[in-house]
């Protein structure tokens, strides 16, 4: 564990111990003084650093709390620190601000966007509500605050099914609008045996009479997870079949339903990390952002993880130790959410946290 009391040499030794097997020593040596500065500034500012599972390993190490969107939202709701530095993408930092209006919330890079979050607007949600009156809206946490504000409840990839069941029972409906991830919606529909439609703006005023559906989806996708294919899985299985070694495929629920159907396990990033520990003797192909594999290896040096590092999230990768240090040093870049939006978004997020 890294602490502000450690010298640069001690920090370097710790980084080398954790990442020496997959990161050149010189790279870790260069990062050690910046890590030292982050640890000092964190104390000085009474700041907490939240690090998403997709952070590059050294950024992940400087975080006080690591996890997926749900875990980090919970941490953000509980913190007593004056400042939150969110090492993740902007919609995550916005969620922290929604839950902590009186705290300073920073995101280290202004380029930390997300293809899913950018795939839907608040006006799109209002249009869908008009098109499907009285149907409650479940929105994936990977959206901006103004979209959350138009929703009844949020969910993460870890609790999407539970939230859909809760919403239908709570609102007494047979239908739910699930936004914006096309694949996550398809996977929830498949898992719960429900039929899903993806309406277009031209589908007016409503789908054809008599059409049997219980979920209404949207066409946004994660630009990382949509790239994994069934062919990737077959290739890896074929290679391992030649050696007789056991191989398991873990896929994130933002992958396509076809990929999920061919996988052995599908769950949020934090649940995947816990599941890896239960299979110490198998090789595990992780179909998710590559940095997560590095972070798993750092805490489980014997884990046999296969990653597809040709596919990286260009947004998560804009967060570095250098811009995390700059965020603390210059108190940049502050995340703000207009109060009327914040209040409505907070209700949807707090419902999600309460459902668990
Ligand atoms: S991995 Fe996908 S969902 Fe996550 S931030 Fe990147 S683009 Fe968005």
Distance separating alpha carbons of residues 240 and 292, to the nearest angstrom: 22
Residue 191 Cα to ligand 1 midpoint, Å, equals 22
Q: For a pocket test of ligand 1, which of 313, 317, 318, 319 has the largest count of ligand atoms closer than 8 A to its C-beta? A: 313
Q: 19 and 103 share a domain?
A: yes
State CA 69 to chain mean position distance: 5
Q: 297 and 207 share a domain?
A: no
| pLDDT value of position 161 | 95
Whether residue 356 lies inside any domain: the answer is no
- Which percentage of the chain shows pLDDT scores above 90? 78
Q: 70 and 146 share a domain?
A: no
Residue 205 Cα to ligand 1 midpoint, Å, equals 33
User: Which atom belonging to ligand 1 lies closest to the Cα atom of 89?
Assistant: 5
Q: 146 and 199 share a domain?
A: yes
Strand order in the sheet with 83-87: 65-67, 47-52, 83-87, 104-106
Residue 326 Cα to ligand 1 midpoint, Å, equals 23
Distances (CA, A) of 348 to 148, 149, 155, 215: 7, 7, 9, 19
Whether residue 100 lies inside any domain: the answer is yes
- Inform me whether the pLDDT recorded for 205 exceeds 60: no
Whether residue 338 lies inside any domain: the answer is no
In this prediction, residues 108-137 reach a mean pLDDT of 96
Distance separating alpha carbons of residues 275 and 71, to the nearest angstrom: 16
DSSP code string of 239-282: HHHHHT--EEEEE-TTS-HHHHHHSSEE--HHHHHHHHHT-TTS
Q: 274 and 292 share a domain?
A: yes
Q: For a pocket test of ligand 1, which of 56, 95, 115 has the largest count of ligand atoms closer than 8 A to its C-beta? A: 115
Distance separating alpha carbons of residues 137 and 178, to the nearest angstrom: 6
**Of residues 273 and 147, which shows the higher confidence score?**
147
Write the CATH number for 152: 3.40.50.10800
The number of folded domains in the chain is 3
User: Which atom belonging to ligand 1 lies closest to the Cα atom of 289?
Assistant: 1
Q: 63 and 133 share a domain?
A: no
Whether residue 348 lies inside any domain: the answer is no
| pLDDT value of position 302 | 82
Whether residue 1 lies inside any domain: the answer is no
In this prediction, residues 315-330 reach a mean pLDDT of 97
Hey, whose CA ends up nearest to atom 8 of ligand 1?
114
Q: Which own/partner contact pairs does 296-300 have at CB distance under 8 Å and 24+ positions apart?
A: 297/21, 297/22, 298/18, 298/19, 298/57, 298/60, 298/61, 299/18, 300/276
Whether residue 341 lies inside any domain: the answer is no
Hey, whose CA ends up nearest to atom 3 of ligand 1?
222
Hey, whose CA ends up nearest to atom 6 of ligand 1?
313
Q: 203 and 295 share a domain?
A: no
Distance separating alpha carbons of residues 39 and 25, to the nearest angstrom: 21
Alpha helix (H) ranges present in the chain?
A: 8-19, 25-45, 57-62, 69-78, 90-99, 122-131, 145-149, 160-171, 182-192, 230-243, 257-262, 269-277, 290-299, 321-330, 339-355
**Of residues 273 and 46, which shows the higher confidence score?**
46
Q: 199 and 255 share a domain?
A: no
Distance separating alpha carbons of residues 352 and 323, to the nearest angstrom: 31
Distance separating alpha carbons of residues 90 and 108, to the nearest angstrom: 9
**Which run of H or E residues covers position 224?**
none
List pLDDT tens digits, range 143-197: 999 999 999 999 998 899 999 999 999 999 999 999 999 999 999 999 999 999 9
Whether residue 41 lies inside any domain: the answer is yes
Report pTM.
0.92
Length of the chain: 356
Q: What lines the ligand 1 site, CB under 6 Å?
A: 89, 114-116, 142, 222-224, 289, 313, 315-316
- Inform me whether the pLDDT recorded for 41 exceeds 90: yes
Domain of residue 182, residue span:
117-221
Q: For a pocket test of ligand 1, which of 116, 182, 226 has the largest count of ligand atoms closer than 8 A to its C-beta? A: 116
Domain finish residue from 221, 243, 270: 221
Residue 289 Cα to ligand 1 midpoint, Å, equals 8
Q: 183 and 237 share a domain?
A: no
Q: 261 and 299 share a domain?
A: yes
Domain finish residue from 221, 238, 270: 221
Domain finish residue from 196, 221, 246: 221
DSSP code string of 317-328: GG--HHHHHHHH
Q: 95 and 143 share a domain?
A: no
Closest CA to 35 of 74, 73, 9, 71: 9
Whether residue 336 lies inside any domain: the answer is no
Q: 162 and 193 share a domain?
A: yes
Residue 133 Cα to ligand 1 midpoint, Å, equals 30
Is 36 strand, coil or helix? Answer: helix
pLDDT band of 293, cuts 50, 70, 90: confident
């Amino acid at each position: 564990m890294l602490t502000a009391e450690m010298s640069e040499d001690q920090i370097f030794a710790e980084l080398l111990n954790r990442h020496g097997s997959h990161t050149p020593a010189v790279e870790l040596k260069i990062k050690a003084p910046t890590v030292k500065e982050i640890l000092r500034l964190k104390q000085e500012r009474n700041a907490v650093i939240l690090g998403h599972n997709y952070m590059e390993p050294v950024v992940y190490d400087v975080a006080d709390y690591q996890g997926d969107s749900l875990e980090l939202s919970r941490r953000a709701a509980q913190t007593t620190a004056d400042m939150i530095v969110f090492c993740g993408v902007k919609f995550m930092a916005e969620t922290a601000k929604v839950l902590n209006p009186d705290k300073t919330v920073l995101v280290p890079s202004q380029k930390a966007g997300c293809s899913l979050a950018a795939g839907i607007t608040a006006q799109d949600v209002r249009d869908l509500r008009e098109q499907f009156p009285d149907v409650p809206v479940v929105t994936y946490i990977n959206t901006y605050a103004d979209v959350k504000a138009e929703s009844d409840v949020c969910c993460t990839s870890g609790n999407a099914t539970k939230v859909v069941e809760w919403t239908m029972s709570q609102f007494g409906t047979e239908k739910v609008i699930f936004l914006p991830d096309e694949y996550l919606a398809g996977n929830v529909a498949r898992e719960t045996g429900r039929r899903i439609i993806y309406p277009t703006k031209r589908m007016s005023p409503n789908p054809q009479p008599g059409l049997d559906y219980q979920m209404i989806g949207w066409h946004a996708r994660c630009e990382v997870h949509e790239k994994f294919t069934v062919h990737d899985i077959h290739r890896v299985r074929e290679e391992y079949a030649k050696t007789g070694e056991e191989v398991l495929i873990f896929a994130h629920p933002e992958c396509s339903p076809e990929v999920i159907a061919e996988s052995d396990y599908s769950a949020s990033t934090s649940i995947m990390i816990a599941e890896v520990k239960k299979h110490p003797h198998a090789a595990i192909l992780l179909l998710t952002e590559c940095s997560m594999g590095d972070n798993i290896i750092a805490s489980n040096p014997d884990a046999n993880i296969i990653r597809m590092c040709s596919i990286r999230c260009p947004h998560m990768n804009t967060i570095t130790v250098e811009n995390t240090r700059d965020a603390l040093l210059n108190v940049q870049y502050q995340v703000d959410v207009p109060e009327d939006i914040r209040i409505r978004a907070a209700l949807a997020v707090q419902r999600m946290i309460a459902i668990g």
